[in-house]
A and B are shown apart, each in its own frame.
Chain A
Amino acid sequence: MPLMARRLVRPELVIDINRIAGLDAIEVLASHIRMGALVRQEQALRSSVVRECVAGLAEALAWVGNPVVRQRGTVIGNLVANTPGSELPAVAIALGAEFVVRHPDAEVTVPAAALLGVANLFGAGKGLPPEAMVTHVLWPRRPGAAGFYEVARRDGHAPVVSALVTMSNDECRVAVSGVCATGLSCPSMARIIARDFPQPPSASALAGALQDDLTGPVYGDAHSSARYRLDVAPLVSRRAAGLMALRAVA
């Protein structure tokens, strides 16, 4: 909407999905939690199902925007917008989320990474044909401990760099936003954290691992340079790992 208000996008057709029944459910499946396209960020944040079944998602959601934004903004809307630096897309990639995409004649399930791993000016929707729509997101059920940390130019402003670290059955996953134009899953950093756990990981080791996990050039914009983001990301990840360790112990 802000892009439309400033005349930067001019869609010929705007379809409001807010009244489609049944899309606002958070459902527990055998190995996944399924959220419809109308599940609001605030709804997901407050959901005990989310908290219990998907380590890290609630921790990340708490940092998205502010309560008013979260009450109206949807989880899938945020994911598909795929704004550089946005918290959730990296989380979806790192946690192995999948999108259910409805085409006129078929319904397919694709890894979120397939759509979110490509940088597009106006969102991941560019990776889909215009008549397709993401109707659900599937989060693998993986309870455990999680820690999230974020740096912004100012509290509540657009996130610059954020990191999520989860530990579930000794498996560590790391999501980093704001270092590349698209969110990163960071298996090399996860290995370092798991190796040192429960001791805090070494920042220099994390910095080295991050280099291995990059999927493209480091992102920079008017808010924060690429150098800052690369510089700060290991330290932000280290803090997230520390928060995860506290929860794991508790």
Chain B
Amino acid sequence: MSAAPERFGQRIRRREDPVLLTGQGAYLANLIRPGMACMRVIRSTAAHARIKRIDFTPIAADPACLGTLCAADLPTGVGTLPAMDLAADSAPARQRILADGTTRFAGEPIAVVLATDAYIAEDLAERVIVEYEPLPTVMDVHTGTQSNAPLLYPEFGSNIVHQTAQRVGDPDAAFAAANTIIEEEFSFRRLIASPLETRGAVAMLEPDTGRYLVYSSTQIPQVLRAELARLTGVSLGRLRVLAPRVGGGFGCKEAIYPEEILVLLALQKFGRAVYWLEDRAESFSATVHGREEHMRVRAALDRDGVVTAVEVDCLADIGAAYSLFSNTPSAAVATLRGPYRIPHFRSRARSVVTNKTPLNVYRGAGYPQVTLAMERIMDLAAAASGLDRAEIRRRNLLQPEEFPVDRGVSYPGCGAIVYDSGNYTALLASTLEAIGYDGFGARRAQGKEDVSLGLGLSFVVEMTSGGGAEPARLRLSSNGRLQLLSGVTAIGQGTETTLAQILSDHLGVAADTIDVVAGDTDDSPDAPGTFASRGATMGGNAACQAGDAFVLEARKLAAEIRETRPEHIEWKDGMLIERGSSHQPLTLSTLVSQAGALGLAATERLDVTARFEDTPVSFASACHAAVVSIDHATGVIRVLDYAVTHDCGRIANPLLVDGQIMGGVVQGLGGCLFEALEYSDTGLPLTQSYMDYILPTAATAPRFILRHIETPSPLNPLGMKGAGEAGCSGAGAAIVNAIADALGPAIALPGGTGPFTPGVVRDILRNAEGLRNAEGLRDAHGKDAPAC
């Protein structure tokens, strides 16, 4: 019984789900076997210090200790971890596998201990003595860029390790001619991706072949394999890297970490399989951080509310050393103008090293920050111009007929930024309608006594599908099933379902005859991995390209079987039909058997690899609107309603895209209202648990109104764009704009700092005029009913 093919655009339920729902998902922790040694990392407890000595003697004689490693034990010439977004003149602030002589952030790996189980490993690790000689710390970019700042790397002469600058048009002339100039500073707090699954790695020998197998909860197994080879000297041919089921990544598993290298080094040195599982407390300093930047933005307006120029100067706090993509988030300042024309532009971004965990991309990769900055500027510009906030945006948006739009700037890893397609005015109109913009004044007036409502807008234009070509291999199994080997690592976004759906539609075969596998470097040795919202677009296009190549081979083989020419064989709905013949069409199963009867191996012939070459990246867009309430008495903010009109080109599976948008919005909401990493005065992380780092819960999620517009990308045959990040990137901006709206024009917001905790809100209210009313003291004569 053959089901009908799935169709592009259908809300197909996920094939991954039954395994996950029944608790059978094989995550990294599920791969641990008895007999493996447990590796525990000894981490620096000083933010910046010379390491005077590391003394293993308290545990050296303990039979439970299976081995130890510190920097002195690493093979000579073992290199540093990779950084993929450096410029020729970037200072080489590279991360060591183990701290060597100096530690530069609390949590930095100093040594490892191997033991028979996790409890013992922790016991042993505690007994190792590490002696530190403290050095002065740099805990923020302002301190770090002073002329007499302590230097993390004295040999560089500066804590500024990387910079980029871009210019379009003549911003100086535009500012000189401006009718109004708006200036604002923004500080973005350090946040973490915090997927529910922490990191982990396993290294073992593959039975029979003697190859090294490394499993890691990673988004980029292929990159990891290349780096393992480079750092350990093991040849690529002897290395297989696999990503098992991954419990979320959001960019923090898009990095190469010391622990991933150490498990292999430990296996090589001590000869037994090794596992490492990160615990939640250590993850707060062991796994990369995100977002921390400080920006100054200036905008020039003419008399009509048109923003003629904008310039931004950004200092990024990238922590103690490069991660894989430490400079990329701040490079997003090049895209500050978002959907707005703004003909004149200047940006500068500088990366500053500080004594904190390294910074990397985190969902949105810099777009959340630039979006918030630009959208706050637009609201401030509206107020300065006396214009409605929607109207000022309308006056500045790029129009549909202007596409493609070369922005005149570039971005690392993707070259020139050219917006391929979009309809921003339609996004705006749709979102205004969805959130009830026109009627909001009436809604606001109906609010309770000491609770005020606010509405905020934001616009995101987001680069998607960067990162290079995408391979796909499609082959026929002997039972007639199709197997797609994809390089798109699954981290929860449902790629298996989406790719099968796209291929099913493209080939006209039932989706349940297609198996999708990913995450194994044996299957897909040279894929980039999962990031930049590229999976469905690049993976889907690659799958279709492979599908076309597959069909070509199938027609050739069928032609041989039928002793005719391939031109006479047609592929239709999974069957090969000889034109003008009364023969039965060949299914893939019968193709296999009939080919076999003729001594032809169908499964060898029908095994094709395609490579979807990277064309310039595509740009998804979205217009967000948030309605918030602020309780003046307690300072508590709630996000009540949230509308997004999203454009990711042609949508393969709207069910999954909606899930990405909502998940991203709630992550952005968390960063805006609840989440923050805190450090002590001496640079030690104070955030050690989910009691400290507050994640959003169901009770904090808003009511969602989701809409879609599809402006297909002309850059790929499927017309798709990515959808993984634009939900997150717009949320902080819409919510902060809504908070400003709720507080009213008389109250100035601190520049984009998060989180907006009840304490921060109460401080704002206390500092503002009309505070007396906010405290409810007007009730002195008992006139007010208590608000519940």
Tell me the A residues contacting B by CB distance below 8 Å. 2, 6-7, 151, 153-158, 160, 196, 199-200, 202-204, 222, 224-225, 227-228, 231-232, 235-236, 238-239, 241-243, 245-246
- Which of B696, B763, B775 is within 8 Å of A203, CB to CB? B775
**Do A200 and B757 touch across chains, with their CB atoms under 8 A apart?**
no
Q: Which residue of A lies closest to B781 (CB)?
A: A202
Q: Judge if B173 is at the interface, Cβ distance under 8 Å.
A: no
Within B634-648, the residues touching A (CB, 8 Å) are 634-636
> In whole angstroms, how far apart are the Cα atoms of A238 and B122 in the complex?
49
Nearest CB of chain A from residue B127's CB, rounded to whole Å: 13
Closest 9 CB pairs of A and B: A242-B786, A235-B633, A155-B699, A228-B759, A200-B786, A199-B782, A151-B634, A203-B776, A154-B694
Q: Judge if B697 is at the interface, Cβ distance under 8 Å.
A: yes
> Using Cβ atoms and an 8 Å threshold, which residues of chain B touch A200?
779, 782, 784-786
Q: Which residue of B lies closest to A6 (CB)?
A: B281
Interchain residue pairs with CB less than 8 A apart (13)? A154-B674, A154-B697, A155-B699, A155-B700, A202-B779, A202-B782, A224-B757, A228-B758, A232-B634, A232-B635, A239-B787, A241-B786, A242-B787
Within B737-788, the residues touching A (CB, 8 Å) are 757-759, 762-763, 766, 775-777, 779-780, 782, 784-788
Nearest CB of chain B from residue A235's CB, rounded to whole Å: 4
Which of B14-22, B219-227, B384-392, B685-693 is near enough to bind chain A? B685-693
> Using Cβ atoms and an 8 Å threshold, which residues of chain A touch B697?
154-156
> In whole angstroms, how far apart are the Cα atoms of A60 and B498 in the complex?
48
Q: Judge if B678 is at the interface, Cβ distance under 8 Å.
A: yes
**Do A225 and B634 touch across chains, with their CB atoms under 8 A apart?**
no
**Do A157 and B694 touch across chains, with their CB atoms under 8 A apart?**
yes
> In whole angstroms, how far apart are the Cα atoms of A7 and B786 in the complex?
46
> Using Cβ atoms and an 8 Å threshold, which residues of chain B touch A2?
689
**Do B762 and A232 touch across chains, with their CB atoms under 8 A apart?**
yes
> Using Cβ atoms and an 8 Å threshold, which residues of chain B touch A224?
757-759
**Do A238 and B786 touch across chains, with their CB atoms under 8 A apart?**
yes
- Which of A158, A228, A239 is within 8 Å of B762, CB to CB? A228
Main secondary structure of the interface of B (DSSP, over half): loop
* Centre residue among B688, B782, B784, B786 by max chain A CB count within 10 A: B786
> In whole angstroms, how far apart are the Cα atoms of A203 and B697 in the complex?
31
> Using Cβ atoms and an 8 Å threshold, which residues of chain A touch B122?
7
Q: Which residue of A lies closest to B695 (CB)?
A: A154
**Do A239 and B779 touch across chains, with their CB atoms under 8 A apart?**
no
Q: Contacts A225-B759, A228-B759; is A153 near B674 (CB within 8 Å)?
A: yes
> In whole angstroms, how far apart are the Cα atoms of A203 and B450 in the complex?
13
**Do A153 and B779 touch across chains, with their CB atoms under 8 A apart?**
no
> Using Cβ atoms and an 8 Å threshold, which residues of chain B touch A155?
697, 699-700
- Which of A6, A7, A154, A231 is within 8 Å of B766, CB to CB? A231
**Do B786 and A160 touch across chains, with their CB atoms under 8 A apart?**
no
Assign chain B's interface to a size class.
35 or more
* Centre residue among A153, A154, A203, A225 by max chain B CB count within 10 A: A154
> Using Cβ atoms and an 8 Å threshold, which residues of chain B touch A242?
785-788
> In whole angstroms, how far apart are the Cα atoms of A199 and B674 in the complex?
36
> Using Cβ atoms and an 8 Å threshold, which residues of chain B touch A203?
775-777, 779
> Using Cβ atoms and an 8 Å threshold, which residues of chain A touch B699?
155-156
> Using Cβ atoms and an 8 Å threshold, which residues of chain A touch B758?
151, 153, 160, 224, 228, 232
> In whole angstroms, how far apart are the Cα atoms of A56 and B545 in the complex?
68
> In whole angstroms, how far apart are the Cα atoms of A6 and B673 in the complex?
27
**Do A222 and B678 touch across chains, with their CB atoms under 8 A apart?**
yes
**Do A154 and B696 touch across chains, with their CB atoms under 8 A apart?**
yes
> Using Cβ atoms and an 8 Å threshold, which residues of chain A touch B636?
151
Q: Contacts A151-B758, A157-B694, A203-B777; is A239 near B786 (CB within 8 Å)?
A: yes
> In whole angstroms, how far apart are the Cα atoms of A169 and B678 in the complex?
48
> In whole angstroms, how far apart are the Cα atoms of A6 and B786 in the complex?
43
> Using Cβ atoms and an 8 Å threshold, which residues of chain B touch A160?
758
* Centre residue among A196, A235, A236 by max chain B CB count within 10 A: A235
> Using Cβ atoms and an 8 Å threshold, which residues of chain A touch B757?
153, 224
Nearest CB of chain B from residue A38's CB, rounded to whole Å: 25
Nearest CB of chain A from residue B746's CB, rounded to whole Å: 20
Q: Contacts A155-B697, A158-B691; is A238 near B759 (CB within 8 Å)?
A: no
**Do B782 and A196 touch across chains, with their CB atoms under 8 A apart?**
yes
Nearest CB of chain B from residue A250's CB, rounded to whole Å: 13
> Using Cβ atoms and an 8 Å threshold, which residues of chain B touch A238?
633, 776, 786
> In whole angstroms, how far apart are the Cα atoms of A200 and B776 in the complex?
12
Nearest CB of chain A from residue B628's CB, rounded to whole Å: 14
Kindly list 17 other residue pairs between chains A and B, CB separation below 8 angstroms, not including A151-B758, A204-B780. A6-B689, A7-B122, A151-B634, A153-B758, A154-B674, A158-B691, A199-B782, A202-B779, A204-B775, A224-B758, A224-B759, A232-B634, A235-B634, A235-B776, A239-B787, A242-B785, A242-B787
Q: Contacts A203-B779, A242-B787; is A236 near B634 (CB within 8 Å)?
A: yes
> Using Cβ atoms and an 8 Å threshold, which residues of chain A touch B691?
157-158
> Using Cβ atoms and an 8 Å threshold, which residues of chain A touch B786?
200, 238-239, 241-243, 245
Q: Which residue of A lies closest to B673 (CB)?
A: A154
Nearest CB of chain A from residue B277's CB, rounded to whole Å: 14
> Using Cβ atoms and an 8 Å threshold, which residues of chain B touch A225?
759
> In whole angstroms, how far apart are the Cα atoms of A196 and B762 in the complex?
27
> In whole angstroms, how far apart are the Cα atoms of A64 and B784 in the complex?
30
> Using Cβ atoms and an 8 Å threshold, which residues of chain A touch B696?
154
Within B664-687, the residues touching A (CB, 8 Å) are 673-674, 678, 686
> In whole angstroms, how far apart are the Cα atoms of A42 and B694 in the complex?
24
Nearest CB of chain A from residue B759's CB, rounded to whole Å: 4
> In whole angstroms, how far apart are the Cα atoms of A156 and B701 in the complex?
13
> In whole angstroms, how far apart are the Cα atoms of A206 and B22 in the complex?
54
- Which of A7, A235, A246 is within 8 Å of B775, CB to CB? A235
**Do B777 and A204 touch across chains, with their CB atoms under 8 A apart?**
yes
**Do A239 and B776 touch across chains, with their CB atoms under 8 A apart?**
no
> In whole angstroms, how far apart are the Cα atoms of A86 and B766 in the complex?
27
> In whole angstroms, how far apart are the Cα atoms of A153 and B782 in the complex?
30
> In whole angstroms, how far apart are the Cα atoms of A23 and B788 in the complex?
37
Nearest CB of chain B from residue A115's CB, rounded to whole Å: 24
> Using Cβ atoms and an 8 Å threshold, which residues of chain B touch A228?
635, 758-759, 762-763
Nearest CB of chain B from residue A201's CB, rounded to whole Å: 9
> Using Cβ atoms and an 8 Å threshold, which residues of chain B touch A236?
633-634
> Using Cβ atoms and an 8 Å threshold, which residues of chain A touch B694?
153-154, 157
> Using Cβ atoms and an 8 Å threshold, which residues of chain A touch B766?
231
Q: Which residue of B lies closest to A244 (CB)?
A: B786
> In whole angstroms, how far apart are the Cα atoms of A153 and B673 in the complex?
9
> Using Cβ atoms and an 8 Å threshold, which residues of chain A touch B784?
200
Q: Which residue of A lies closest to B631 (CB)?
A: A151
Nearest CB of chain B from residue A208's CB, rounded to whole Å: 12
Q: Which residue of A lies closest to B122 (CB)?
A: A7
> In whole angstroms, how far apart are the Cα atoms of A155 and B689 in the complex?
17
Nearest CB of chain A from residue B105's CB, rounded to whole Å: 20
> In whole angstroms, how far apart are the Cα atoms of A239 and B631 in the complex?
12
Q: Which residue of A lies closest to B674 (CB)?
A: A154
> In whole angstroms, how far apart are the Cα atoms of A154 and B635 in the complex?
11
Nearest CB of chain B from residue A6's CB, rounded to whole Å: 6
> In whole angstroms, how far apart are the Cα atoms of A242 and B450 in the complex?
14
* Centre residue among B633, B674, B692 by max chain A CB count within 10 A: B633
> Using Cβ atoms and an 8 Å threshold, which residues of chain A touch B759?
224-225, 227-228
- Which of A6, A199, A204, A239 is within 8 Å of B633, CB to CB? A239
> In whole angstroms, how far apart are the Cα atoms of A156 and B697 in the complex?
8
Q: Contacts A154-B697, A158-B691; is A222 near B686 (CB within 8 Å)?
A: yes
> Using Cβ atoms and an 8 Å threshold, which residues of chain A touch B785?
200, 242
Nearest CB of chain A from residue B187's CB, rounded to whole Å: 19
> In whole angstroms, how far apart are the Cα atoms of A6 and B691 in the complex?
13
Nearest CB of chain A from residue B772's CB, rounded to whole Å: 10
> In whole angstroms, how far apart are the Cα atoms of A243 and B633 in the complex?
16
- Which of B633, B674, B686, B779 is within 8 Å of A232, CB to CB? B633
> Using Cβ atoms and an 8 Å threshold, which residues of chain A touch B763?
228
